[in-house]
Structure 1
Amino acid sequence: MDAFIDPLDYPLYVVTTAAKGEWSGCLVGFASQCSIRPVRFTVWLSKANRTFRTAQAADHLAVHLLGPGQHRLAELFGGETGDHVDKFASVAWTAKHAGIPVLDAAPAWFVGRIEQRTDAGDHVGFLLDPVEHGAHTRPAAGTFHLSDASDISPGHPVD
């Protein structure tokens, strides 16, 4: 399977959510649009992640694109854990639909209502119905990918 997976260079996203007075966010590599009509997007969150635990009680998630020059933001949300660090204390963000935090620096984002959860082993898929979206800028050089994050150690172990 490594021969198939190793050359892939997935886009990475920051996913944020809020529930029970808590905000959480993490860097995600498993995510994709999964339907055209109606538009649907699925995000897969690791069960080891604090964002997953918050998302279990949430009704909505926000998905953020990052540009290739946003390594610091990717490192904050991928290399730190919300179990020890308030990731939102050092970034500008705005509460959007359902109070979900949206990162002001993200070139584009959407908030989606969680329609379904699918347990697939060490990750759970959250099927999202987009309810609000925005774009600050269009990344001139594309989006942030797995290869851009090769030096980021995960905030939680990857098994």
Structure 2
Amino acid sequence: MADFDDLVGRLDYPMLVVTVNDGRRLAGCLVGFASQCSIDPPRYMVWLSKNNHTYTVARGVDRLAVHVLTPENRPLAALFGTVTGFDEDKFARCAWRDGPYGVPLLLDCPQWFVGEVLARYDTGDHEGVLLAPVAVGEGTGLGQLGFQTVRDLDAGNEA
């Protein structure tokens, strides 16, 4: 389906970083597949690659954080998109703090929300995680970093 790949390859999805803490390990990854999927009640879905370290950690959590990256957050996109948590501690290379429910929050990214995991869906090489927001950061309206801006990054893991 080369035509389909070409079509969706030109879209400019918002780039996000998902972070998790399972009580033993911190993990985080760059996410390009995500969407609000309900207004009332508010719901959001993120898809995690099954080849990703964050997926292995996130399988056992009931909450995770979704960070909306701004153009100034390209270094975070590079860190969380090109370095694999299987080999390296990404959190040793960035500023972060414990957020609500112990979920790690990236200090350089004030646009975030913590979501309670309501359901998980096998969608192929990614798993969809349905979230209900339970806490929202104060940084809003700062813009967003899109896929076209980071498409040159080499992924830390194959999707």
Deviation of 1:93 (Å): 1.1
| Aligned 8 A contact 1:67 1:107 in 2 | no
Determine the C-alpha separation between the residues in 2 that align with 1:136 and 1:93. 15
Tell me the equivalent position of 1:42: 45
Tell me the equivalent position of 1:131: 134
Q: CA-atom RMSD, angstroms?
A: 1.2
Determine the C-alpha separation between the residues in 2 that align with 1:86 and 1:3. 34
| Aligned 8 A contact 2:11 2:148 in 1 | no
Deviation of 1:21 (Å): 1.1
| Aligned 8 A contact 2:100 2:135 in 1 | yes
Tell me the equivalent position of 1:91: 94
Q: TM-score, normalised by structure 2?
A: 0.94
Equivalent positions of 1:1-159 (< 5 A) are 1-136=4-139, 138-139=141-142, 142-158=143-159
Determine the C-alpha separation between the residues in 1 that align with 2:156 and 2:41. 34
Deviation of 1:150 (Å): 1.9
Determine the C-alpha separation between the residues in 1 that align with 2:16 and 2:73. 11
Q: TM-score, normalised by structure 1?
A: 0.94
Deviation of 1:126 (Å): 0.3
- Over residues 55-113 of structure 1, what are the superposed CA-to-partner deviations in whole Å (9 max), with x where a residue is unaligned? 10111110001111221110000000011111111211111122100111113100001
Q: Which moved more, 1:89-98 or 1:39-48?
A: 89-98
Determine the C-alpha separation between the residues in 1 that align with 2:40 and 2:68. 22
| Aligned 8 A contact 1:112 1:131 in 2 | yes
| Aligned 8 A contact 1:20 1:57 in 2 | no
Deviation of 1:138 (Å): 3.4
| Aligned 8 A contact 1:63 1:111 in 2 | yes
Misfit runs of 4+, over 4 Å:
none
Determine the C-alpha separation between the residues in 2 that align with 1:98 and 1:69. 27
- Over residues 3-59 of structure 1, what are the superposed CA-to-partner deviations in whole Å (9 max), with x where a residue is unaligned? 431221111100000104100000000001100000000000000000000010111
Q: Which moved more, 1:74-83 or 1:91-100?
A: 91-100
Paired-residue identity, %? 47
In structure 1, the gaps of 5 or more residues are none
| Aligned 8 A contact 2:118 2:131 in 1 | yes
Determine the C-alpha separation between the residues in 1 that align with 2:127 and 2:5. 22
Determine the C-alpha separation between the residues in 2 that align with 1:116 and 1:110. 17
